[in-house]
Structure 1
Amino acid sequence: MNYRHMETQAWQVLDRAHYLHPFTDHASLRQAGSRVAVRGEGVYVWDTEGDRIIDGLSGLGCVNIGYGRPELVKAAADQMQALSFCQSFFNTTHPSAVLLAEKLSQILPEGLNHVFFQSSGSEANETAVRAVRRYWDLAGKPERRVIIAREAAYHGSTHMAASLSGIPPMYGAGGDIPLPSVTHIKTAYQYRNGPGMDPEEFGILAASWLEERILEIGPDKVAAFFAEPAQSAGGALCPPMSYWPEIQRICKKYDILLVVDEVVCGFGRTGKWFGSFYYGIQPDIMQLGKGITSGYLPLSACILSDRVADLLIEEGGEWAHGFTYSGHPSCCAVALENIRIMEEENIVENAEKELIPYFRAKLETFVGHPLIGDVRSVGLMGGLEIVKNRVTREAYPYEAKIGYHCSGEALKRGLAFRANGDTMSLMPPLIITRQELDTVFEIAREALDATAVAFGVA
């Protein structure tokens, strides 16, 4: 479709009149107007103004193999022609869902063999909570109700998923959030929670906060610990390698289910197929999304370990939970083709070998920038934390919105550069080249320099 330059304002009028955006101040949006994206190819997105934006965010950490892959379009179209919809209720199945469930069980950590499909990460986390609750009821321990999650975590926007998320501004969106059965502990955010410590010692300390909370609540009342391998929404909060082994030891000690949210880290973000491989995690339950289809169609999955699934299947009777679009044929077909492409083109392995060391080295060049207090990354997920005072680590007041200013400076120069609070985040597609990374970091530096000038920082 051909979009003319003169159409932008008309699109913005319609947008502000009818379309409510997620996580948006709509009063401000009405003043500024939306950027209207119309086309994507590779790592680039074009808008109605004809401007080309290099997507430093993979959409929202999901477009892992880039935009415009005709194979995924064909997979969706072929499936729609053959079978456009199939419900999975009433003892009914279809090949795409069965084959995808089988494929996932082959590439996931050992023991994760039972797959339940949804359409979003929020729904996958809701399903995980339902499975945790049902498991302990069937195990004869219904008093195990409390779920422990972490500050600054993001697990979704539905009622329970927002409660799991450790982001207080989300709690004002309505609905008695967080729910009383959810409690949060500090996360492995060394720049704020353990400055000056040896990283390995800090990892042990950060894990100990879980044990402290378990003992405070009472081990017989704790059902599960929910966590991402590394946290994206908090601004690339990457735990030391000592953290996860200690977390697993604690969960095993108190027989608490370990629920690992891989919605962002899954499908190559860390340089391994799953963040659980990178950190050596063996989950009881795992949630997937985003990169499962590279964002081409909405699909998520909640994977149950044999320990959990066997009890639900053998003792649980009817699993009274599900969605109209659970295992949607076209979404599953696209996911299968996406995984095939990633395997055939060695996309994850190439990212680990060729891109991630280069990405990390480029990030490190920002150490010493007058605005940057901390530089951190895991795989192709990095964060540059803006601070007011690099010595005291003092942050800018929320009202300054310096991160948003920097994001705007980057966007007008042609880079999608996300502000997670005052941490500038990058999560480029796994198919980005070194030359394209050069462009990403060149614009990022220009944006930070311009922001420093605007805020009077030498």
Structure 2
Amino acid sequence: MTPHSRLDVLHPASSIAAMLQSGPRRMASAKGVRIRDDTGHELLDGTAGLWCVNIGHGREEIAQVMADAVRNLDYFHTFGGYSNAAQETLGARLVAMAPGDLNHVFFGSSGSDANDTILKIIWHYNNLLGRRDKKKIVSRWGAYHGTSISTASLTGLKSFHDQFDLPIERILHTECPHAYRFATEGEDELAFSTRLIDAFKQLIHDQGAETIAAFIGEPVLGAGGVVPPPKGYWAGIQQVCQENDILLVADEVVCGFGRTGADFGSQTYDIRPDFMATAKGLTSGVFPMSAAFMTTRIWDVLHDGSKALGGFSHGYTYSGHPVGAAVANAVLDIYQGEHLADNARRVGAHLMQRLSDELGDHPHVGEIRGVGLVCAVQLVEDKSSRRLFEPGRKLPAAIAEAAYGCGLIVRPLPSIGALAFSPPLTLTLSDADEMVTRFVSAFTRIMSTV
């Protein structure tokens, strides 16, 4: 990288000053689980881009489907009753895959807009039922739900709030379900879950159940640390929601399409949501597309309301894009045909075991956690007290930078002091071994100076 005197593009989650000093890191080509930068440096993609390239990079069959779709119907909108065959096929396939009674779907372009759509439908739903005060949404500290005004408010990471005067009204946060970090001494997972569920009940009591519309959660916390739920957590949350007529939203943008070793994280943890947000793996990152699911219970209220109100006053230019839908159908063919959820379970278990074998006893590794093919290595300054390093030391970023030099991309998670792995679901056992070897080399180099 070389210094730059100017920068035309404002990069997401990047420092303008740092970019002007060092220049961007340009990626040039990718195939399978490997990617090259413009210097020719080859790397294992340990993050599937940004949690999304589930079927691996550079699939020729996807390129062909995309080219054919552009030649056939490059674009037409879906407003005012218009449609296209690819969208209809995709919708039918998705609701057949979805857990529970999620029988209807709305298409957008990103995970943020899927969650935005769900929020608007929840508010519209309660308006149609005459419950105009039932509008508050409960999220969790440590959660990530997007970067729009409403979804950044739902996000439970302070860095996404402080720069933009967020969160907005109607958004509440309850406790983070990370037992390693927040369980008290002697408190097992079930007791920890009970305490968090009681805190949720208290929040409902304080706010009034008649004001709370929904609870939103990732089946596994993603950007907040790759945190699988503690035992009993989701069962308890669901029971409280049912008792208080609170809708349950599963944000499956990261977990969906095989990441947890099942089609959806909701199936891994027996979650029965009223809404479900998906994106990322839906098209394996090839085309910007999202799908927001809702149950028949919600759909029926919207249907009845439409008789008086007419059109549903929401949508995006690219909703149900014919090229995006064609790509998503082809991605589903590969995902199902190659049994990638099964591979995620098998190779993910191997990856975590190898990481545990190599680093589990290290004095500055507190926990190696995950499910399916997503996991994290938790750094700690003191293992016995579980005390984290000071964020200012930027150790996750330093390890990730060293890993890049070793030919591996991993994601630093500075909010929790961890490093995340979420490689393509096509990862092989030998790829996983190579990934661990490169990571351990980088980790050892940085941590030897601590």
Match of 2:444 in 1: 449
> 1:49-198, aligned counterparts within 5 Å?
49-174=39-164, 176-195=165-184, 196-198=186-188
Q: Could you tell me whether the CA contact under 8 Å between 2:352 and 2:368 is conserved in 1?
A: no
Q: Could you tell me whether the CA contact under 8 Å between 1:241 and 1:279 is conserved in 2?
A: no
Partners of 2:14 and 2:402 in 1: CA distance: 19
Partners of 1:367 and 1:120 in 2: CA distance: 36
SS at match of 2:79: coil
Partners of 2:34 and 2:350 in 1: CA distance: 20
Is 1:371 the counterpart of 2:373 in the alignment? no
Partners of 1:417 and 1:350 in 2: CA distance: 20
Partners of 1:350 and 1:111 in 2: CA distance: 27
SS at match of 1:436: helix
SS at match of 1:112: coil
Say which of 227, 230, 237 aligns to 2:220. 230
Partners of 1:389 and 1:355 in 2: CA distance: 30
Q: How has the CA–CA distance of structure 1 residues 206 and 379 changed in structure 2, closer, same or farther, with 3 Å as cutoff? A: farther
Partners of 1:361 and 1:260 in 2: CA distance: 28
Say which of 192, 211, 215 aligns to 1:221. 211
Tell me which amino acid in the other structure corresponds to 1:385: Q
Measured against aligned partners, the alpha-carbon deviations of 1:113-171 in whole angstroms (never above 9, x if no partner) come to: 11111100010010010011011111111110111000111100000010000011111
Is 1:347 the counterpart of 2:361 in the alignment? no
Partners of 1:339 and 1:208 in 2: CA distance: 40
Q: CA deviation at 1:260?
A: 0.7
Q: Could you tell me whether the CA contact under 8 Å between 1:363 and 1:382 is conserved in 2?
A: no
Partners of 1:76 and 1:211 in 2: CA distance: 48
- Runs of 5+ unmatched residues, structure 2: none
Tell me which amino acid in the other structure corresponds to 2:368: V
Q: Could you tell me whether the CA contact under 8 Å between 2:348 and 2:374 is conserved in 1?
A: no
Using the aligned pairs only, state the percent identity.
Answer: 35
Partners of 2:374 and 2:198 in 1: CA distance: 26
Q: Could you tell me whether the CA contact under 8 Å between 1:154 and 1:164 is conserved in 2?
A: yes
Tell me which amino acid in the other structure corresponds to 2:316: F
Say which of 229, 242, 267 aligns to 1:252. 242
Q: TM-score, normalised by structure 1?
A: 0.94
Q: CA deviation at 1:13?
A: 4.2
Q: Could you tell me whether the CA contact under 8 Å between 1:150 and 1:186 is conserved in 2?
A: yes
Q: Could you tell me whether the CA contact under 8 Å between 2:260 and 2:372 is conserved in 1?
A: yes
Q: Could you tell me whether the CA contact under 8 Å between 1:229 and 1:276 is conserved in 2?
A: yes
SS at match of 2:203: helix
Q: Could you tell me whether the CA contact under 8 Å between 2:363 and 2:383 is conserved in 1?
A: yes
Q: CA deviation at 1:241?
A: 3.5
Partners of 1:281 and 1:358 in 2: CA distance: 26
Is 1:300 the counterpart of 2:293 in the alignment? no
SS at match of 1:184: strand
Q: Could you tell me whether the CA contact under 8 Å between 2:351 and 2:433 is conserved in 1?
A: no
Q: CA deviation at 1:201?
A: 2.8
SS at match of 2:145: coil
SS at match of 1:406: helix
Say which of 387, 398, 423 aligns to 2:391. 398
Is 1:359 the counterpart of 2:359 in the alignment? no
Measured against aligned partners, the alpha-carbon deviations of 1:196-241 in whole angstroms (never above 9, x if no partner) come to: 4222332333233222211111111101001000011011111124
Measured against aligned partners, the alpha-carbon deviations of 1:386-414 in whole angstroms (never above 9, x if no partner) come to: 11111222222221111111111111111
Q: Could you tell me whether the CA contact under 8 Å between 1:371 and 1:448 is conserved in 2?
A: no
Partners of 1:187 and 1:238 in 2: CA distance: 11
Match of 1:438 in 2: 433
Is 1:425 the counterpart of 2:417 in the alignment? no
Measured against aligned partners, the alpha-carbon deviations of 1:417-445 in whole angstroms (never above 9, x if no partner) come to: 11111101111111001111011111111
Q: TM-score, normalised by structure 2?
A: 0.96
SS at match of 2:392: helix
Tell me which amino acid in the other structure corresponds to 1:356: G
Partners of 2:376 and 2:200 in 1: CA distance: 25
Q: Could you tell me whether the CA contact under 8 Å between 1:120 and 1:300 is conserved in 2?
A: yes
Q: CA deviation at 1:110?
A: 2.6
| Aligned-pair Cα RMSD in Å | 1.4
How many pairs align?
443
Q: Could you tell me whether the CA contact under 8 Å between 1:186 and 1:206 is conserved in 2?
A: yes
Which stretch of structure 1 is more off in the superposition, 248-257 or 32-41?
32-41
Tell me which amino acid in the other structure corresponds to 1:153: A
Is 1:321 the counterpart of 2:310 in the alignment? no
SS at match of 1:226: strand
